[in-house]
Amino acid sequence: MSSGTLIENFAEFAKRKNIDRPTMIRILEDVFRTMIRKKYETDDNFDIIINADKGDLEIWRFREIVDDNSEDIWDHDKISLSDARKIEPDFEIGEEVAEEVKLEDFGRRAVMTARQTLIQKVKDLEKDILFQNYIGQVGEMINAEVYQTLGREVLLIDPEGNELSLPKGEQIPKDRFRKGESVKAIIHRVEMVNGTPKIILSRTSPVFLERLFEAEVPEIYDGLITMKKVVREPGERAKVAVESYDDRIDPVGACVGMKGSRIHSIVRELQNENIDVINYTENKELYIARALSPAKITSMRIDAESGRVSVFLKPDQVSLAIGRGGQNIKLASKLVGLEIDVFRDVESIDEEDVALVEFSDEIEDWVIKELRRVGLDTAKSVLSLTKEDLARRTDLEEETIDEIYQILSQEFEE
Model confidence pLDDT, tens digit, residues 271-315: 999 999 999 999 999 999 999 988 889 888 888 888 889 888 887
Q: Give which of 123, 120, 108, 96 is closest to 35, Cα–Cα.
A: 108
DSSP for 232-277 reads EETTTEEEEEEEESSTT--HHHHHH-GGGHHHHHHHHHTTS-EEEE
Q: Is the dihedral of CA 380, 381, 383, 384 positive or negative?
A: positive
Q: Give which of 383, 379, 380, 369 is closest to 341, Cα–Cα.
A: 369
* Residues 341 and 309 sit within 8 Å (Cβ to Cβ): yes
Model confidence pLDDT, tens digit, residues 376-393: 778 888 888 788 878 877
- Please report which helix (H) or strand (E) contains residue 320, including its range: helix 315-322
Q: Is the dihedral of CA 177, 179, 182, 187 positive or negative?
A: positive
85-99, 289-303, 343-357: which has the minimum mean pLDDT? 343-357
177-191, 227-241, 315-329: which has the minimum mean pLDDT? 315-329
Q: What is the pLDDT of residue 356?
A: 85
Q: Which residues of 189-227 are buried (b: 16+ CB within 10 A; e: fewer)?
A: ebeeeeeebebbbbbbbbbbbbbbbbbbbebbeeebbeb
Which of 6-9's residues contact partners 24+ apart within 8 Å by CB, and which partners? 6/57, 6/103, 6/111, 6/114, 6/115, 6/118, 7/50, 7/52, 7/55, 7/56, 7/57, 8/55, 9/115
pLDDT class of 346 with cuts at 50, 70, 90: low
pLDDT class of 163 with cuts at 50, 70, 90: very high
Q: What is the pLDDT of residue 414?
A: 56
Domains, the chain, ordered by start: 3-132 (3.30.1480), 136-204 (2.40.50.140), 206-280 (3.30.300.20)
